[in-house]
Structure 1
Amino acid sequence: MHYIHQYASPLGNITMASNGESLTGLWFNGQKYFADTLPAENREKELPIFEQTASWLDAYFRGDIPDFTPALHMDGSPFRQMVWEILLQIPHGKVVTYGDIARMIASKTGQKTMSAQAVGGAVGHNPVSIIVPCHRVVGTSGSLTGYAGGIDKKIALLSLEKVDMVPLFIPKKGTAI
């Protein structure tokens, strides 16, 4: 059985999901790919993992850097798992590009190159937003693109982390990233 719980964040309601022990999902309600890894059979329930996650989110939204990570269990292909592990290593208040992650994976796997677009797909399907910080990934030259929760939420999260927003920009439609 999978369980859900709602969290009211300053940026909108968030749905948390769990297998009963670990956090399996965290989505802004209505975001792209909302609950796409959540089984249809689930129910609302109070769980210790949801209390821990709410504590993490409370600290984060206060502007603190949480000193723990709730237990995570994220289902995905080995490639997606590799991308999500890299996301977990991006420091609070820093950003990296999709190309940076592609180069890290190419280096790890002994390949000459890796597609930044493939990385973008894995980043976009991250089932645990905020805690697995996909909002810290930007396009080439700092373009703010590709956040399933919406660019407005990406900007708010990066601002909360005191990221220097001056070099970052929202690309115009049709602009290559």
Structure 2
Amino acid sequence: MEYLGYYTSPLGMIRVINDEDYLLGLDFIDEELKQENKNKLTENIIKQLSEYFIGERLEFNIPILLNGTEFQKNVWKELIKIPYGETATYKDIAVRIGNPKAVRAVGGANNKNKIAVVIPCHRVIGMSGKLVGYAGGISKKEWLLNHENKNKKLIDKR
């Protein structure tokens, strides 16, 4: 059975889709499409999103079910390793997964990420340092990176 919840973030509405055990999807949407049908995992995901957006959570502790090709799964697992407040290039990810020539394929896998924010594809940037390619839009990517940088600086001062 699938469960559905919504979270109103500073960037707009986020839809959360999960089953009994795993987060299956998390994306930005314009409006609630169906009535919520939450379980304990849905509530936990929304709680962790809230903590992230107020700057209290640096890492998510949510079980994720990755649905994609082996290549995509390898890319997404590598994205999760990018530390909060830091970035990596598509080339960096390609090298880390042992396929340095697969830069475009990494971009394609990034584009197919169905679990925004938790699998932090927003932390992947172009070789020149430019913000490129974010399904939620470049303005959301920029906001997320600025949010993390600001909070990381506060945490580093502690």
- Deviation string 1:43-73 (CA, Å, 9 cap, x unpaired) is 7311111111111111111112345411111
- In percent, how many aligned pairs have the same letter? 40
Structure 2, unpaired ranges of 5+: 151-158
Deviation at 1:10, TM superposition (A): 1.0
CA distance in 1, matches of 2:139, 2:82: 20
Structure 1, unpaired ranges of 5+: 31-41, 164-177
CA distance in 2, matches of 1:66, 1:95: 14
Deviation at 1:20, TM superposition (A): 2.5
Aligned residue identity for 2:4: I
SS at match of 2:97: helix
Deviation at 1:11, TM superposition (A): 0.5
- Deviation string 1:110-132 (CA, Å, 9 cap, x unpaired) is x5x33211000101111110011
The two structures, once aligned, show a CA RMSD in angstroms of 1.7
Deviation at 1:2, TM superposition (A): 2.1
Corresponding residue number in structure 1 for 2:16: 16
- Of the three residues 88, 92, 113, the one matched with 2:84 is 92
Residue 121 of structure 2 is aligned to residue 129 of structure 1: no
- Of the three residues 61, 65, 73, the one matched with 2:57 is 65
**Contact 2:3–2:42 (CA<8 Å) still a contact in 1?**
no
Give the TM-score normalised by structure 2. Answer: 0.86
Corresponding residue number in structure 2 for 1:38: none
**Contact 1:17–1:26 (CA<8 Å) still a contact in 2?**
yes
SS at match of 2:14: strand
CA distance in 2, matches of 1:4, 1:121: 27
Ranges of 4+ aligned residues in structure 1 off by more than 4 Å:
none
**Contact 2:60–2:118 (CA<8 Å) still a contact in 1?**
no
Residue 2 of structure 2 is aligned to residue 6 of structure 1: no
In structure 2, the CA distance between the partners of 1:72 and 1:146, relative to structure 1 (3 Å rule), is: same
Deviation at 1:141, TM superposition (A): 1.6
SS at match of 2:13: strand
**Contact 1:25–1:74 (CA<8 Å) still a contact in 2?**
no
Corresponding residue number in structure 2 for 1:116: 103
CA distance in 1, matches of 2:113, 2:60: 19
CA distance in 1, matches of 2:63, 2:76: 14
